[in-house]
Amino acid sequence: MMKKRFNPITDRSSEIVAFLMASPDMPKDEDLRFKIELSIEEAVENVVQYAYEGGIGWLEAGTSLDDKSLILTIELRDAGMPFNPLEKDDPDITLSAGERPVGGLGIYICKSMMDSISYRYEDGNNVLVMSKRV
């Protein structure tokens, strides 16, 4: 697994996304890369914006690729406030932006673009894992 810890994470979303997208595990296919990058952007931004009170904290981000199944895995780990984004109901996308409650669209995008997403809280850390067959 290729991984790196970013500390602090304030105003570093684009740097974190660029690090993950530069991984040798990433596919070359542009359509797949677009879906993966959009999902990473949404998930990383959620951590940067909401995980830590005052925005000061760390995020460990990494990728791995199972050579046999060709499953790319992206893992984000932080020690912010415990929060499972998968427990939130999906937004009603039939409503206009003005009618929809704020929040939840980012994780909905991740769920739509990736093959699987899981969350666990372990050892005082939030761990979000997203996978995509590449």
What does the pLDDT look like over 13-43, one tens digit per residue? 999 999 999 999 999 999 999 999 999 999 9
Task: Give all domains of the chain, ordered by start, each with its CATH number.
Answer: 2-133 (3.30.565.10)
Please tell me the predicted confidence (pLDDT) of residue 50: 87
Please tell me the predicted confidence (pLDDT) of residue 91: 56
40 burial type by CB count under 10 A (0-12 exposed, 13-18 middle, 19+ buried): buried
Closest CA to 40 of 110, 125, 112: 110
pTM: 0.88
Percent of the chain with pLDDT over 70: 87
Lowest-confidence pick of 5-9, 39-43, 52-56, 93-97: 93-97
- The arithmetic mean of pLDDT across residues 84-107, rounded, is 66
Return all residues near 133 (Cβ < 8 A) that are at least 6 apart.
69, 70, 71, 72, 115
Apex CA 104: angle with CA 85 and CA 51, to 5°?
A: 50
Apex CA 19: angle with CA 16 and CA 23, to 5°?
A: 145
Please tell me the predicted confidence (pLDDT) of residue 49: 86
